[in-house]
């Protein structure tokens, strides 16, 4: 396992080091680049890149060179605009995108639908750093996804068509969506077993048990937790 902070660039010439690498964490405001041509680390399972405000590109050919990657966390990287050509590794099980405004703004090019191994996806965008996302998930995620966390300060509505495509969705986390004031008229997917709402004052009001206008849309869900309180 390796963790580097205040690193400007990464050039791994030691082939054995890359072969043995399973976890890589990189953070710091001056980091600008991964190795040219890609990061050859066939056994890398987890990659965390945080606070690299000058970094513009993820490693090249991730789908070929990182075949074992299961966890990818990218946060506070405002200059990254897209995923690498060829997309992300097919074995990826968890993807967290936090505070990457340009990447989120260009979300229609993500091409995540083919990631059938993906078990959890998080999108986290503060309103002050917003790409202006008003609707989600917009058909951007694989239909087999079982767990989704949405934290978008500018969100005004949940895209029911996109949610209905997630036929395996069991857990939905809606957090810090201060502008979201109601659920879709069609309700939420019947596959849901867990619904968590946190930091959404307008939605909390409409989802009050027995009284809120949206209660009938969620009453079928076995476990509902709002601001830490178990509703049912």
Residue given tokens 């789908």 in the structure block: 63
Q: What one-character DSSP code corresponds to residue 122?
A: E
Residue 181 lies in a domain: yes
* Residues contacting residue 229 through CB under 8 Å, at least 6 positions apart: none
Q: CA–CA distance from 173 to each of 24, 38, 105 (Å)?
A: 27, 34, 21
Tokens read off for 223? 């476990």
Residue 103 lies in a domain: no
As a whole number of angstroms, the distance between CA 228 and CA 10 comes to: 41
As a whole number of angstroms, the distance between CA 178 and CA 172 comes to: 17
> With bands split at pLDDT 50, 70 and 90, how would you rate the model's confidence at 15?
very low
Same domain, 71 and 159: no
Per-residue burial over 16-26, b = 16 or more CB atoms within 10 Å of its CB, e = otherwise: eebeebeebeb
Number of structural domains found in the chain: 2
Residue 109 lies in a domain: no
- Residues 93-128 have pLDDT tens digits of 999 999 999 999 999 999 999 999 999 999 999 765
Same domain, 155 and 224: yes
Same domain, 58 and 6: yes
Same domain, 125 and 222: yes
Same domain, 45 and 140: no
Res 185: pLDDT: 94
Q: Which residue has the higher pLDDT, 232 or 146?
A: 146
Same domain, 126 and 207: yes
Q: Calculate the CA 164 to chain-centre distance.
A: 18
Same domain, 85 and 128: no
Domain that holds residue 136: 119-232
Same domain, 162 and 85: no
Arithmetic mean of pLDDT, 60-77: 95
pTM, two decimals, is: 0.92
Res 16: pLDDT: 47
Same domain, 19 and 89: yes
51 and 26 Cβ atoms separated by less than 8 Å: no
- Residues 176-229 have pLDDT tens digits of 999 999 999 999 999 999 999 999 999 999 999 999 999 999 999 999 999 999
> With bands split at pLDDT 50, 70 and 90, how would you rate the model's confidence at 136?
very high
């Amino acid at each position: 396992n390796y963790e580097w902070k205040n690193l400007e660039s990464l050039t791994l010439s030691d082939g054995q080091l890359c072969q043995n690498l399973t976890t890589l964490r990189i953070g710091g405001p001056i980091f600008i680049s991964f190795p040219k041509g890609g990061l050859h680390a066939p056994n890398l399972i987890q990659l965390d890149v945080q606070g690299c405000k000058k970094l513009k590109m993820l490693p090249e050919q991730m789908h070929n060179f990182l075949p074992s990657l299961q966890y990818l966390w990218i946060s506070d990287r405002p200059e990254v605009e897209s995923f690498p050509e060829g997309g992300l590794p097919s074995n990826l099980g968890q993807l967290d995108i936090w505070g990457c405004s340009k990447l989120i703004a260009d979300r229609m090019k993500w091409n995540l639908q083919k990631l059938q191994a993906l078990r959890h996806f998080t999108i986290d965008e503060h309103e002050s750093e917003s790409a202006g996302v008003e609707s989600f998930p917009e058909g951007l995620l694989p239909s087999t996804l079982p767990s989704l966390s949405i934290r978008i300060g500018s969100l005004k509505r949940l895209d029911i068509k996109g949610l209905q495509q997630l036929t395996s969705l069991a857990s939905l986390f809606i957090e810090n969506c201060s502008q979201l004031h109601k659920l879709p008229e069609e309700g939420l997917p019947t596959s849901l077993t867990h619904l968590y709402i946190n930091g959404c004052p307008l939605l909390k009001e409409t989802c009050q048990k027995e009284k809120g206008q949206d209660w009938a849309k969620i009453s079928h869900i076995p476990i509902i937790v709002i601001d830490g309180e178990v509703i049912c």
